[in-house]
Structure 1
């Protein structure tokens, strides 16, 4: 099937031709990936005989899929220009992300709130990646309704409540440390740091000391 037709299933149709051209121009292996809780997308630089590789989660809404795709292509472009000399989300990457996002701004593809969040994110040197919460929340507003109301984010569940991940592991929500929440895995007593917007399933009525 034609690349454009495939891409139109995952991102706004107006954006598909340009992304298809980037895949060809940069000679990039572009993979639509399974869901990964820890990240929306991934970029791998050429290594071991393989060229540039980008993967993006299949279950993102069209705007999140496009933002993630541009994010990863900006990594690719920055690697081509600077190799390992540039920081992963440093000035060079931000400049490339801004330039590569411009055609989609000109086509007026994004809703106003997402465009505003992207501009704010790019103008904020403290924001290190697409884990920027303002941008994340703007994108998530366009997700389809969840099938299960039990799915929440860590920031929305009570302190000391128990929750579980898709892999079945159970945690207790503890105090907030700067931008993340400290959580204790019940089975191992190990401490993990969770993003406030990490999706979890609340174990109703359960709390732990």
Structure 2
């Protein structure tokens, strides 16, 4: 099976041919990865005889997969131009991300709400695409439904929830941008992102 056919299983079909050409043009090892709870994708610069390497989580919806892929290719392109001299999400990367996203805007690959969120994000150099909550929320709307998974911001006050590692927390009030939550077993306080995905559980 050729790479474009494989990519079309994860990306909007109209986007797959261009991503396939980028993989060849940049001589990049492109890996569809397992889910990593802390990141959607990853870029590794050439090192110790290995070339450019990009990985993207397999379970992202097509629009999130494409945004993440372009995000990582913008890192690659910025490295080729500036090596270690450019900041990871600095003005050079931002300029390349915007330029590399344009062909997909021209093809009208994204729904209007996602396109608008990307455009707004590109005008905000302080945030990475993974931490921009407006972009993250617009992309999540296109996820397949997950019956037991909720985001912290959607839980009622004092709700109990657990993480994948089994730890149980009780949601408390919002402090600026994050929610104060108390771990039940230790009584320690943690701050959670509003869009952190958790499993709600009953009272205990």
The answer to whether TM tops 0.5 is yes
SS at match of 2:135: helix
The superposition leaves residues 121-179 of structure 1 with CA deviations (integer Å, 9 ceiling, x where unpaired) of 10123323332011111111111222x2x311011113333211122222232343332
Paired position in structure 2 for 1:165: 163
Residues 1-209 of structure 1 correspond to what in structure 2 (within 5 A)?
1-146=1-146, 148=147, 150-206=148-204
* In 2, Cα distance between equivalents of 1:195 and 1:27: 36
Return the TM-score normalized by structure 1: 0.90
CA distance 1:51–1:189, change in 2 (3 Å): farther
Distance (whole Å) between structure 2 residues aligned to residue 33 and residue 180 of structure 1: 29
Q: Offset of 1:191 from its aligned partner?
A: 4.2
Rounded Cα–Cα distance in structure 2 between residues aligned with 1:15 and 1:129: 19
Structure 2 distance, partners of 1:187, 1:61, is 35
Unaligned runs of 5+ in 2: none
**Unmatched 5+ residue regions in structure 1?**
none
Measured after TM superposition, the shift of residue 48 of structure 1 is 2.6
SS in 1 for 2:128: coil
TM-score, with structure 2 as normaliser: 0.92
3-state secondary structure, aligned to 2:114 = helix
Question: How many corresponding residue pairs?
Answer: 204
Whole-Å Cα distance in 2 between the matches of residues 63 and 107 of structure 1? Answer: 13
